[in-house]
A and B are shown apart, each in its own frame.
Chain A
């Protein structure tokens, strides 16, 4: 069982991810934007962060930068989700461990999460 932080402002996605991950036996924290996510990480250190890119207040790219600059969070695996193709965001977001194109498929999600929790990167 792992602790996973799901960061998404879109209604439905966060709820579905939370439910699916709980079904798989994980403990799930949720946040609606990057700033909120950093606050949640202060409460408990997640084993994995799954974050949307486009969010208000602090987006996924800013969250990733902030995590990588902080000693406590710089090693946490980070899965970036976006409705755009990866090539269109690759030049402005670096350092993520896996990319998931929205709308994601459950099978793909489970496989990537499994790999990330085992320490395998997905070429972010």
Chain B
């Protein structure tokens, strides 16, 4: 969520919070109160869970909800399934959330009878939310498209008069019909689509707001998961707006020490504040070591954060003890925090939103993303990655974070470092290159600064070693022919 969303959206008058913070963020504050919404999705997409979650959240806020089923799940089975979720509260049933079956009445009295039932039940229960589960069944009882549209129109009028926000659940308009405009779509105030899409052997869920009257919303698809807490949504970070007051206006002259004295001297005292630095190099070149040393500069006023995909926090802690002795204590004191995502698959927006939320909550100044291509490893949408990196670095810079990201070069022994990372080298404002070279029968490490935001820098290629206490630069340089190599035995990152 953006800063504005966190502080304002849930409280905004005229809005109904869904109880799913990520969805409220996508809707820029929640559903518009007294609107009529269609939630569509294939069976298993999460419609029933989401709509019940909305009902229980509304009840927890002091409201009442009416859940009307047509030809869908039996109530016993529905409630039994809902018990698996943390939002479910049996004590609210009947008093605050009423479940009503209306299929027999629909069969007997048609849409007119259903409308009368809904009106009377809403008034009787003083319901602020109505869920009609099984719009497909109602459609079947409409003799013409016009009759269905009239039914939807009358529901809309009722929603406004009765102060009731309505959700119609349907599995139509998905599958081969996906994207097709149905008569009822033109009538309602909003259309929310839930998808589960197959990518080879993997399936990813997402939510798409196709229509949302009366408000702007975050466009496109957004990551969704069904967890023990119900539906969770993570806005696609490319769609998240950056508050205007956060946009950088002029270059910040402030520097943050890398805590490597020789490197600081090469770059005018440290990394430019609120900039993104990419540290590239082959395995074992010292990338993680440099990141850990940078984090060792964290203080209570400048908290640090490490996001990692590969090294576990325990392993990082052990590594830190040898390289940056202050760091374990800073971690124990909470001045430096580690976020670790070890899963082989996942949602990059989940990781990115968690990262941004942590940065915002803790006021993080120093951030290390250890193994930036971890994002590429877990996503099923590689085409998004360049835009994702651009959005992520923009958000981090807007939050004033000085970020140091490591990335392993693919070619361990290439004579020239090829930028491998989906245009990340253009997004990163500062670029440091770490290499191995063979010299006099030994592998030696080299560091060079390739670019630095708005600043002059020392262009020499410097040799360095990783000793207890961290990285130490020396005055040696690599061979003139630029021949490089690597060593599996080399310590460091």
Contact B150 A23 (CB under 8 A): no
In whole angstroms, how far apart are the Cα atoms of A13 and B154 in the complex?
8
Bound form: Cα–Cα A48–B150 in Å: 28
Known contacts being A105-B163, A106-B162, is A16 close to B157, with CB within 8 Å? yes
User: A106 with B161: in contact, given A11-B153, A12-B156, A15-B154 (CB under 8 Å)?
Assistant: yes
Secondary structure call for the B interface? helix
Whether B161 contacts A19 by the Cβ 8 Å rule is: no
**Residues in B whose Cβ lies below 8 Å from that of A12:** 153-154, 156-157
Cβ-closest chain A residue relative to B158: A16
A109–B158 alpha-carbon span in the complex (Å) = 13
A interface residues, tally (CB under 8 Å): 14
Chain A window 1-16, contacts with chain B (Cβ cutoff 8 Å), 1 for yes, 0 for no: 0000000000111011
Distance A12 CA – B153 CA, assembled complex (angstroms) = 7
Closest CB in chain A relative to B130 CB, distance in Å: 14
Q: Restricting to A11-41, which residues have a CB under 8 Å from any CB of B? A: 11-13, 15-16, 19-20, 23
Q: Is the CB of B157 within 8 A of A19?
A: no
Interface positions, chain B 310-341, Cβ under 8 Å from A, are none
A103 within 8 A of B: yes
Taking CB atoms and an 8 Å cut-off, the chain B residues in 149-194 that contact chain A are 150, 153-154, 156-158, 160-163
The contact of A13 among B120, B150, B157, B162, by CB within 8 Å, is B157
Shortest Cβ distance from A11 into B: residue: B153
CA distance A109 to B163 in the complex (A): 12
Output the nearest chain A residue to B122 by Cβ-Cβ distance. A106
Interface string of B95-129 (1 = CB under 8 A from A): 00000000000000000000010011001000000
Interface 1/0s, chain B 11-51, versus A by CB < 8 A?
A: 00000000000000000000000100000000000000000
Q: Is the CB of A23 within 8 A of B120?
A: yes
Q: Is the CB of A106 within 8 A of B157?
A: no
Q: Kindly report which residue of chain B lies nearest to residue A22, judged by CB atoms.
A: B116
Choose among A13, A16, A20, A106 the residue that contacts B163 (Cβ–Cβ < 8 A). Answer: A106
Which B residues lie within 8 Å of A23 (CB)? 119-120, 123
Residues of B within 8 A of A104 (CB): 161
B residues in contact with A109, CB < 8 Å: 161
Contacts of A105 in B (CB 8 A): 161-163
Q: Is A19 in contact with B119, judged by CB distance below 8 angstroms?
A: yes
Q: What is the CA–CA distance of A107 and B126 in the complex, to the nearest angstrom?
A: 10
Q: Which residues of A contact B160 (CB under 8 A)?
A: 103
Q: How far is the CA of A92 from the CA of B154 in the complex (A)?
A: 31
Residue of A11, A16, A106, A107 near B150 (CB, 8 A) is A11
Question: Contacts of A13 on B, CB cut-off 8 Å?
Answer: 157
Q: Report the bound CA distance from A19 to B150 in whole Å.
A: 15
In the complex, the answer to whether B161 meets A16 with C-beta atoms within 8 Å is yes
In the assembled complex, which residues on chain A have CB atoms less than 8 Å from the CB atom of B158?
Answer: 16
Chain B residues near A106: list those with CB within 8 A.
Answer: 123, 161-163
Bound: A86/B154 CA distance, A: 25
- Contact, CB under 8 Å: A19 / B162: no
Instruction: Name A95-109 residues within 8 Å CB distance of B.
Output: 103-107, 109
Q: Give min CB distance, A22 to chain B, whole Å.
A: 10
Closest to B34 in A: A103
Task: Write out the residue numbers on chain A whose beta carbons fall within 8 Å of the beta carbon of B116.
Answer: 19
Determine how close the nearest CB of chain B comes to the CB of A16; give it in whole angstroms: 5
| Chain B residues within an 8 Å CB radius of A16 | 119, 154, 157-158, 161
CA distance A12 to B156 in the complex (A): 9
Q: Which residue of B lies closest to A103 (CB)?
A: B160
Q: Which of B116, B119, B150, B157 gathers most chain A CB within 10 Å?
A: B157
Chain A nearest CB from B159 CB (Å) reads 9
Whole-angstrom distance between the Cβ of A112 and the nearest chain B Cβ = 13
Report the bound CA distance from A15 to B154 in whole Å. Answer: 8
A16–B120 alpha-carbon span in the complex (Å): 11
Give Cα distance in the complex from A107 to B34, angstroms.
15
A23 CB, nearest partner CB in chain B, Å: 6
Most interface-central of B34, B120, B156, B161 (chain A CB within 10 A): B161
Residues of A within 8 A of B120 (CB): 23
A12 vs B161: C-alpha distance in the bound complex, in angstroms? 11
Residue in B closest to A13 when the chains form the complex, CB atoms: B157
Q: What are the interface flags for B131-159 relative to A under an 8 Å C-beta threshold, 1 for contact and 0 otherwise?
A: 00000000000000000001001101110
| Nearest CB on A from B64, distance (A) | 14
Counting from the closest, the 6 A-B pairs by CB-CB distance are A103-B160, A12-B157, A16-B157, A106-B161, A12-B153, A12-B154
Give residues in A with beta carbon < 8 Å to B: 11-13, 15-16, 19-20, 23, 103-107, 109
Binding site for A on B (CB under 8 A): 34, 116, 119-120, 123, 150, 153-154, 156-158, 160-163
With A15-B154, A19-B119, A103-B160 given, can you name 15 additional A-B contacts, CB distance below 8 Å?
Answer: A11-B150, A11-B153, A12-B156, A12-B157, A16-B157, A16-B161, A19-B116, A20-B119, A23-B119, A103-B34, A104-B161, A105-B163, A106-B161, A106-B162, A107-B163
A sample of 23 cross-chain residue pairs with beta-carbon separation below 8 angstroms, ordered by A number, consists of A11-B150, A12-B153, A12-B154, A12-B157, A15-B154, A15-B157, A16-B119, A16-B154, A16-B157, A16-B161, A20-B119, A20-B123, A20-B161, A23-B120, A23-B123, A103-B157, A103-B160, A103-B161, A104-B161, A106-B123, A106-B162, A107-B163, A109-B161
